[in-house]
Structures are given as C-alpha cells and as structure tokens.
Structure 1
Amino acid sequence: MAPPASASAFLRALKAEGLDVVEVGDWAGHNRNSKGAWGPVHGVMIHHTVTKGSARTVDICRKGYSGLPGPLCHGVITKDGRVHLVGYGRANHAGLGDDDVLRAVIAEQGLPADNEANTDGNRHFYGFECENLGDGKDPWPAAQLEAIEKAAAAVCRLHDWNERSVIGHLEWQPGKIDPRGFTMASMRARIADRLGSGAAKDSQPLPPPRRPVVDLSQLVAAARTNPRASGQPVTYSGVRTVEAALVDEGLLSKRYSDGHFGTTTIAAYSAWQRRLGYRGKDADGIPGKTSLVKLGQRHGFDVRN
C-alpha cells in the first residue's frame, strides 16, 4: 500500500530502468481524478489493447472512445518496446475486480481465482496497455516483452514491491483474457529476476502459454441447468472461457459474460453453431464437441470429453 508517486518520480523510475519513454501531450495532468479517488496504489496491471498500429493504439489509449473516456492506462507499450505515457492519475483501465485478489496483491501472496467484480481497480493499480490484437496469434516481439518487464519492475522499485504486485487483467476481472499470448507467471518470473539482480538482464524467451481446458461434459451440464432462470453464476471456469470467446466473436454482450450459461449465452452459442452451418436441433445452443473445438481453435483453449 502506498500513495501514488508523483508524475515526475514515475517518469524518472521508468527512465532509470533503461526504457525508451515517449511523453504524449499533457500526460502528467490527464486523468479521471474528478470521477473518483486515485490511490492508495497496490500494484501494476498489464493489458493487451486489441488494436493494430502504434499511432492508433496510443491515440485510443489517450483519448478513449464512446462510453469509456481516456486515459485508458498510464503507459502504452508498443511493439517496438517504447513506453508512451498518455495519462497519470485515475485511468479507465482496470474496472471492477475481485477484492480477494486485491488482498493477495497487497500481501504479495499467490492469487486466488477471480470470481467477483466488487472492487474499484482504477483507484488502486497502475496500468500498462500493450499493443497486441489479443487473438493468440499476434506475436509479442522480444523488445516489447522486455519493456513490459522493465516497466513493471520500475514501478515495483519505486514502491519497494516484489513481482507479486504485478498482475494481468485476466487475474483481476472475471471474463477478461488479457494479456493473451504469454503467461503472467512467466512474466512475474522475469520481473523477479530483474528485481533480484538490481540490474538489466538479457531478455529470455517466454515459455509457450498454457492453454485453458474446457470440459465439454461440465459445460453441457451448465447449459442444461435451468437455463431460463436467473441466479448465481455457474462455478465452473470453463463457462467464462467460452463466454469470453463468444464476446470476442461479437455474439455475446460483455455484460452477459458472467459465468451463467443461461438463455442469453445459449442464444449466443446457437448463433455460433449457425455460423458454422448447423441448423435446427443442431443449432440449439447446447455445445457439441465439433463446434466447441472450432471455437477453441480460434480463441486459444482446448476441449476434453
């Protein structure tokens, strides 16, 4: 726990870590502080942008878009490894997340699974958006991965935190998948090495990311459990994995990505089946293995049973 560092101290810390920093406009005074508190700060959150092109990415993260005003982070890390500062203070990047996760970050302990969205993350986390399409195929250049490592380590040094104070958006808010394409466990290992040495280290390739596994039988059971009734979200993580994929496909509204395989999710899955060419009873919204495997191939998860 700490009060936020000054903008000038934040900038110095990034440069001291050896980063190429680009100051964008009035970044030090660009924030959402009028809408809520900024601080105490507890950690660093890493995101991917789902955008292509550095200039466009930086512009979106600085200005925001309809329904979500900027800044959308504090720094944008582009594929060339540069950190573009677009705001400082409260930023619209983290949203609501799990209070149990926040407690673990504060204690610098292992993270529990995120299953609630009840705590304001914009108040408590520094945020770095990283230029990537987030489709599991867009590459992460070595220079960009090293910049993520350095930026997170710089903020940790500033507040005397360790690597457990660095989390991904997917570890904070249910239904989120970012950053996709590397694991936060492997990134935290890199940050730990950097903080332990007190000096720059050569970047090492990250191991291949571990793909989520969706159990078809559990998913079907969730879909067939009183789907017309509203209620508590199903406590099977595979539901959220599939919902996130349907959101990415444009078939399910993000606000219905809540872990409950109810009528809205069934309708979205039916639309996915119809997109694959199924009709009638074959497009009833209850997942089948062939359609689920195809969804997993597009969105980075495996299927069993």
Structure 2
Amino acid sequence: MAEPLSAAVFVAALRAEGVKVVEHDGWRTHNRNAKGPWGPVHGTMFHHTVTRGTANTVRLCREGYASLPGPLCHGVIAKDGQVHLVGWGRANHAGLGDPDVLRAVIAETILPADDQATADGNRHFMGFECENLGDNKDPWPAEQVEAIVRVAAAICRAHGWSARSVIRHLDWQPGKIDPRGPGLNWTDIKSRIEDRLGVKETPTPVVPKPARPKVDLSQLVAAARSNPKAKGQPVTYPGVRLVEAALVDEGLLAKTYSDGHFGTSTLTAYARWQKRCGYTGRDADGIPGMTTLRKLGAKHGFDVKE
C-alpha cells in the first residue's frame, strides 16, 4: 500500500532498472482522475491488448474508444521490449475485481481464486498493456518478457514491495484470460522479478477471509428517521459510520459530515445514492432500503442484516 509515485520518480525508476522507455506527449498528466480516485496503490497488473502493430496499439491505449476513454493503461510494452508511457494517474485498465484478491495483494500472500467483481481496480493498480493478439498462438518475444520483468521489479523496488504485488488481469477479474500465449511463463516471470529484487519468496499461508461488518437495516432506518435536523447529537447507531464512509468514498457526502449522526447531510447524500441506483420520488427520500443498502455494502465491504 502506498501513495502513487510522481511521474518523474516513476520514469526514473524504470530507467534505473534498464527499461527502454518511450515517453509520449502529455503522458504525465493524461488520466481519468476526474472520474474517480487514484490511490492508494497496492500493486501492478499486466494485460494483453488483442491488437497487432505497436503504433496502432499505443494509439488505442492512449486514446481509448467511445465506450472506454483512454488512457487504458500507464504503459504499453511492445514486442521489441520498449515501454511506451501513455498516461499517469487513474486509467481504465483493471475495472472491477475481487476484493479478496486485493486484500491478498496488500498482505503479499497467496492469491485466492477470483469470483467477485466489486472492488475498484483502476484506483489501486498500475496497469501495463502488452502488445499481443491474445489468441494463445501469438508468441511473446524474449525482449518483451524481459521488459515485463524489469517494469515489475522497478515498481516493486520503488515501493518496497515483493513480487507478490505483481498480478495478471486473469487473477483479478472473473472471466478474464489475459495475459497468455507461447513464451509467457508467469511462474518464471515472478521468479525473475524476485531475482532482480534479490529476495526469494517463502511460502505464506492464505490470509483467512476477514469477517465483513454488518449493518442492521432496521437500526439504520431508525437512526435516519430520528431528529434528522438535530446537530451535535451522539452516535445514533454505530452502523451509520460505515454507511457514511461509503457515501464519502462515492463522493456524495463531505467528510466533515461523517460523524455517525444520520442528520440532514447524510439523509441528502443517501438520497443521491438512491437516485444513482435508479430510484426517484418517494423511493429516493434518503431513508435506506434493502436494495440500495446492499448495493452500497457490496462496493464498500459490509453486509446487511434485515
């Protein structure tokens, strides 16, 4: 876990690791930060592009397309081993993935099977797209594989991480298969990253899945309906803090109002969440309901007790 590196420190780390870097115009400020938070970062994720030709691949990853604007990664690793930097900040590369995998990356332990898609990977991972057709036939040249090793090692070294912080898209999101193909041996790549870092991993037991906190819907509703205009009241119900923290993370509630009291500000913020979920009129009055609360909990790590 760390705050993102500055663009200058990032590119310096790559070059110090012997990465052949190509800097494209404006990459240091090209990002999707206006659409969501960037950081804290926990690891690096690798993908394949399903494209042919370096120029075409770099252009696509920098600009994106109508339904998915760029940048689609931070760097493109070409067949010849050059790394083209196209963005720095939040990028549309990881999408939603498994929160258990995220916890394992943070703890640097064995990855569990990915079977959920509720955690924001664009916020927490640096991403690199590798030029490859993705058909399991297009080969991975040695220069390209070496670049993957050096990029991963550079980022791990800069943050003080081990190779356990390096994952594939297929480790993160159910249904993904990338990266794959002849010449790409992920076990060997991880071993080579360890060798560059000078540290060999030792087997680590899987971190038990932590118990998720629960919010009691009936108590939350009671809190929302009790003196909503009152100020300076004590905590109305401990679960209010979990809901407020989630609303803050969604950009719907100012952090200064995250005080455990379900007052007018929290009521207004929850109404905005209900509208975001598609509700209107009396169904978006700020009083939590089961469907909207479960959706909020699924994104922010809590369950709901009826």
TM-score by length of 1: 0.64
How far the C-alpha of 1:7 sits from its partner, in A, is 0.4
How far the C-alpha of 1:184 sits from its partner, in A, is 2.8
Quote the residue 1:100 is aligned against: 100
Distance 1:152 1:162 in 2: 10
| Partner SS state of residue 191, structure 2 | helix
Deviations 1:230-286 (A, max 9, x none): xxxxxxxxxxxxxxxxxxxxxxxxxxxxxxxxxxxxxxxxxxxxxxxxxxxxxxxxx
Correspondence list, 1:87-166, <5 A = 87-166=87-166
The answer as to 2:193 corresponding to 1:196 is no
Deviations 1:151-195 (A, max 9, x none): 010000010000000000000000000001224332211111111
Amino acid at match of 2:189: M
| Partner SS state of residue 13, structure 1 | helix
How far the C-alpha of 1:88 sits from its partner, in A, is 0.1
Quote the residue 1:175 is aligned against: 175
Tell which deviates more after alignment, 180-189 or 101-110. Answer: 180-189
Quote the residue 1:287 is aligned against: none
Q: Is the 8 A contact 1:43 1:165 kept in 2?
A: yes
How far the C-alpha of 1:197 sits from its partner, in A, is 7.2
Distance 1:30 1:135 in 2: 30
Q: Is the 8 A contact 1:43 1:126 kept in 2?
A: yes
Distance 1:18 1:24 in 2: 18
Percent sequence identity is 69
* 4+ aligned runs moved over 6 Å, structure 1: none
Question: Number of residues paired by the alignment?
Answer: 198
Amino acid at match of 1:106: I
Amino acid at match of 1:188: K
Quote the residue 2:187 is aligned against: 185
Amino acid at match of 1:48: H
Q: Is the 8 A contact 1:163 1:192 kept in 2?
A: yes
Quote the residue 1:80 is aligned against: 80
Distance 1:105 1:186 in 2: 19
How far the C-alpha of 1:149 sits from its partner, in A, is 0.3
Distance 2:186 2:28 in 1: 28
Q: Is the 8 A contact 1:81 1:145 kept in 2?
A: yes
How far the C-alpha of 1:97 sits from its partner, in A, is 0.2
Distance 2:95 2:142 in 1: 29
Distance 2:150 2:114 in 1: 26
Deviations 1:99-131 (A, max 9, x none): 000000000001000000000000000001000
Unaligned stretches of 5+ in structure 2?
201-306
Quote the residue 1:216 is aligned against: none
Amino acid at match of 2:101: V
Amino acid at match of 2:31: N
Amino acid at match of 2:93: H
How far the C-alpha of 1:96 sits from its partner, in A, is 0.2
**Larger Rg: 1 or 2?**
2
Quote the residue 2:22 is aligned against: 22
Correspondence list, 1:27-46, <5 A = 27-46=27-46
Distance 1:197 1:187 in 2: 14
Amino acid at match of 2:49: T
Correspondence list, 1:27-66, <5 A = 27-66=27-66
Q: Is the 8 A contact 1:167 1:184 kept in 2?
A: no
| Partner SS state of residue 194, structure 1 | helix
Distance 1:15 1:87, change over 3 A: same
Distance 1:49 1:145 in 2: 15
Quote the residue 1:225 is aligned against: none
| Partner SS state of residue 153, structure 2 | helix
| Partner SS state of residue 156, structure 2 | helix
